[in-house]
């Protein structure tokens, strides 16, 4: 399996599940920081169907929760979904299992920043645009979206 002999790494490798992955580490930390029972999620998809920004996300919110359940940190923190989330609370209000999904999203952004994954850096903004944006706005964006 691991010997690829010069081939590019697989684009969609299988998730190798172990009890450590589904109980300790990343998943445990998400539960601790957010205080949310992510295992309660039964994947009804209500959070995604009501999300006003779902159309901009490459992974829908329900699948983000699913990836947390399986301890898939890298898939989440390198994805744009957690940053597109506007924290509007639509998902939180509608979740039939009472999970504060917005709080999970906040937690995931926090973990991404801890891991040094910047969603937004100075090199990503066009200098012309930068000149038009008020300075407090720029500072706010960097604060929220980068380390």
**Which CB atom, from 63 or from 109, has the smaller least distance to other proteins?**
63
Among 25, 37, 122, 140, binds other proteins (CB under 8 A): 37
Count how many Cα atoms sit within 13 Å of the Cα of residue 119 in the half-sphere of its side chain. Answer: 22
- Give residues with Cβ within 8 angstroms of 21, minimum separation 6: 27, 70, 71
Binding mask 67-106 for other proteins (x = CB under 8 A): x-xx-x--x---------------------x---------
**Which CB atom, from 39 or from 106, has the smaller least distance to other proteins?**
39
Classify residue 141 by its DSSP letter. Answer: H
For the CB of residue 117, give the shortest distance to other proteins in the complex, in Å. Answer: 20
End-to-end alpha-carbon separation of the chain, Å?
36
- Give residues with Cβ within 8 angstroms of 99, minimum separation 6: 36, 37, 38, 40, 41, 65, 92
Residue 124 is a binding residue for other proteins (CB under 8 A): no
Q: Are 92 and 106 in contact (CB under 8 A)?
A: no
Among 22, 33, 141, 145, binds other proteins (CB under 8 A): 22
Q: Which residues bind other proteins (CB under 8 A)?
A: 12-19, 22-23, 37, 39-40, 42-43, 62-63, 66-67, 69-70, 72, 75, 97
């Amino acid at each position: 399996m691991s010997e690829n002999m010069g081939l590019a790494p697989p684009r969609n490798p299988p998730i190798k599940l172990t009890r450590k992955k589904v109980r300790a580490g990343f998943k445990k930390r998400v539960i601790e920081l957010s205080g949310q029972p992510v295992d309660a999620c039964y994947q009804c998809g209500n959070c995604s169907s009501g999300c006003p920004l779902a159309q901009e996300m490459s992974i829908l919110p329900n699948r983000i929760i699913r990836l947390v359940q399986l301890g898939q940190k890298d898939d989440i923190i390198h994805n744009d979904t957690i940053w597109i989330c506007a924290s509007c609370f639509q998902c939180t209000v509608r979740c039939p299992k009472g999970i504060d999904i917005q709080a999970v999203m906040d937690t995931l952004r926090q973990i991404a920043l801890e891991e040094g994954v910047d969603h937004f850096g100075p090199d990503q903004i066009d200098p012309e645009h930068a000149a038009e944006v008020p300075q407090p706005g720029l500072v706010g964006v960097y604060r929220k979206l980068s380390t």
